[in-house]
A and B are shown apart, each in its own frame.
Chain A
């Protein structure tokens, strides 16, 4: 399974992409995820270096280029190490000759293909399609570019944003470049109008990306509003209710409906250990499905269901195949007949046990 790819996009160096990448890596590590630094560009920033402490770093590959030693990410070592998450800075970087790939984004693709999640960073000016625009805006021709498809194919693109004035303050405070470079940077690339233009580019790029990702869902939402269905699933703490909930959720996706899940606990009912485990599993499943789990205590199940239907605006009730109790049916009518009487105007669906379909066969 290909890893998930998250890109932290910034308008310019110094907005905090690398810092944010490390923060996310640390946070994931705290939650038990196996995280390594595949490549970190510390930019001689002490805060960044401090944040990287404690995270495992995969040793870099040293390449000798005409007597000059260059360090590059060792993509094969990262894949061999097989962490769950790799932090790889500066995806637009061009690798030294002799590296496995020409560009770092190609290294990242190899890591993703190894089933490893990746967080990476990049500035908007490196985007290939914006190369001319960036040149017109800033007068700087960016040499290191990456294809637009990399952004399109990423699972998530997040803007790391900083106002131009704040970025310039960080620059003056020596948090971005060494003091000797600050004045030149402020007079050239880091001019307020440049930073403002780049920031707008980054915001525009991100909003277009978000719109592209939302397009199909927006169409779905329009359909949802025209229907306004709401499903209620009646469950009991047993394995078959898992199937019932899942089937109701599938219907909800087709109908564009919200789902409520109801368990009616009989007054004073005590659950066995197995039932308690089943109930907890149903609650977890409801959370994964985005359903609302409701618990009511009542001796009259049908009255409790009716009250919830009215309260939640239910249009569609999902139940499992009711157990047939002959004596009760004779005395009070079947559960299903009473349910239909109690819920006029509500669709009722009885979910069958699909495993029994073969009983239909001759």
Chain B
């Protein structure tokens, strides 16, 4: 009876533990092993030692996709933080109906499934003179652009998409943060004769620092691995103009059949995300 009792907790966690072991921990071992092989996913892998790792260092496309990912992640993040903080401050106080409606609406793109929101962006920015954005540009006297079909504009268009998609989330996190600031802080600042901008700079901003950090790190983790939106918008193209690391992994493994080399890129991406997550955990602990 006692033995049965002590087995119960294990019974409760066993199903989850088994699933994670089979489908999440064990595959990492396969991934590491396959990074030392030449393998097309179909025929048996051939052991080739460190060749894949050495190849990666001199792989121009890998360096380029790393660079593209960094541009994508950081530029969308910076605009996102500035914009969402602005919208949060704008809509937070006083809480009018219009402000509530605004927060309700900007959250819709975030709630929508990624492939659907990317599909919607396609309808705005398709490379044709009659796409809505091009009609607007033509009216303003600027010529129509190729957007997702143009190798210089494709990445900015995706960055713009990503801001539209994610601003709602960061805004709500900021609003929650703003609501948690006790009124006393503002009253004290007002008594001291501070004007509104000074209050934002010296009272609100420092108090929102942990929230900003939270948004930065969660967006970084999500941004580095984002795949669906980019795939639906450009598939990494035109050419390789929007090939981020995750798209590059996909093309290398499943397009070119170089699973071993793709495994090396996967491991690099994993390490990047691992470091970011550990920073996040450290930060959560310190809060």
Q: Is B truly associated with A? A: no
Residues on B facing A (Cβ under 8 Å) = none
Residues on A facing B (Cβ under 8 Å) = none
